[in-house]
Amino acid sequence: MNKAMPNILVYYNEAEKFAEFLKEHGCTSVKTAKTPEEALLHLPGTEIVLSWNFPSHLLAQPEAASVQWVQSTGAGIDSLVSDRTIPQNVVLTRIVDQFGGMISEYVFAYLLLHCKDIPRLLSAQANREWDKFSPGSLEGKVIGVAGLGSIGVEIVKKARAFHMKVHGLSLSGKNADIVDRHFTAADWKTFVSELDYLILTLPLTNETRHVINRDILLSMKSNACLVNVGRGSLIVERDMLEVLKEQQHLTAVLDVFEKEPLDKENPLWSLPNVYITPHLSGPSKVDEVGRFFVDNLRRFVQGSSLQGVVDRERGY
């Protein structure tokens, strides 16, 4: 089945950039919206929505009856999946296989920052101090990657280049063969107890929400380092805050939070053993996401199966 060039609605804070990219790539009917009100205005006749954090309740409105497909500009899609009012005939897709490179670079930037104690070096330089010490090394350290999708796989590859011991946890058992030791959801405590570095790349689902609680955090080595590049709600944030206050040799590198942007008043900002970054480890760059979407659009028009289709029951 060959469909005519469909009507596309881009919902994004920089919607114009996407619209420009799409027009350059042959899309003739592209509208943009930045607010729910604008979106509602443009939904009638729209077949495809390209969006980050689309106001999902609109999809159940009569104005959205023509929508067949919603493409998220990100890898995480929990906010859409959790809305049960979205009609079942609307296909949800997310970006896959595009974030591994950038996110794994972010992870190793902070692993190296931590093990080389770069903050101490920056501070010594500011004071013109020749503060010679023996920095640590990643070699031989144990990294545990929770979530072995395309992001986790790229982290594992780089960990190999740093001669680390690599453990992994995946819910489905996927890619169990690429790690030295594999764990499943039943083994969280054993999994975390042996790690120098715990990296969370899991999707947020009913099974993973709040999986990192006080009990799990206290099972970690007291000088371990936790890196969250998955979703904020994988962690019980209040538990983490308490444990980080108690265990001052524990370090957390957090790119995602239960509520984003992180509140100005949140005490996490000022803990000395916490690095906060504003959800930028896996940026949704217009040209990368645009290429993924244009390729999917070609498949849509040709009637082929789309890339990154979300299984709503599984949650990602």
Which residues, 6+ apart, have CB-to-CB distance to 278 below 8 Å?
A: 255, 260, 261, 262
162 lies in the site for a second copy, by CB under 8 A:
yes
Residue showing tokens 């080389």: 116
- CA dist 157 to 44, 120, 161, 179, 282, Å? 46, 29, 7, 10, 17
Count of other CB atoms within 10 angstroms of residue 246: 12
Measured torsion, CA atoms of residues 196, 201, 205, 210, in degrees rounded to the nearest 10: 30
Q: Quick one: which of 41, 47, 39, 32 has its CA closest to 89?
A: 47
DSSP symbols for 220-248: S-TT-EEEE-S-GGGB-HHHHHHHHHH-T
Tokens of 146: 């929770």
Minimum Å gap between C-beta 278 and a second copy is 4
Cα–Cα–Cα angle for 311, 314, 316, rounded to 5 degrees:
60
Instruction: Please identify which residue in 23, 163, 238, 314 interacts with a second copy, judged by CB under 8 A.
Output: 163
156 lies in the site for a second copy, by CB under 8 A:
no
Instruction: Please identify which residue in 35, 41, 66, 139 interacts with a second copy, judged by CB under 8 A.
Output: 139
Tokens of 129: 């101090």
245 lies in the site for a second copy, by CB under 8 A:
no
Number of residues that bind a second copy (CB under 8 A): 46
Q: Which helix (H) or strand (E) holds 236?
A: none
276 lies in the site for a second copy, by CB under 8 A:
yes
5 lies in the site for a second copy, by CB under 8 A:
no
Minimum Å gap between C-beta 285 and a second copy is 6
Count of other CB atoms within 10 angstroms of residue 155: 28
Minimum Å gap between C-beta 1 and a second copy is 37
158 lies in the site for a second copy, by CB under 8 A:
yes
Tokens of 168: 């992994």
Instruction: Please identify which residue in 3, 26, 61, 122 interacts with a second copy, judged by CB under 8 A.
Output: 122
Instruction: Please identify which residue in 65, 121, 178, 301 interacts with a second copy, judged by CB under 8 A.
Output: 121
- Catalytic residue positions? 231, 260, 279
241 lies in the site for a second copy, by CB under 8 A:
no
Residues from 284 through 303 that contact a second copy (CB under 8 A): 285
Minimum Å gap between C-beta 119 and a second copy is 7
- Does residue 303 come out as left (phi exceeding 0), alpha (psi in the -120 to 50 range) or beta? left
Span interacting with a second copy, options 115-123, 142-150, 173-181, 239-247, rule CB under 8 A: 115-123
101 lies in the site for a second copy, by CB under 8 A:
yes
Interface ranges with a second copy (CB under 8 A): 101-102, 105-106, 108-109, 112-113, 115-116, 118-119, 121-122, 124-125, 128, 130-135, 137-139, 157-158, 160-163, 260-262, 264, 269-270, 275-280, 283, 285
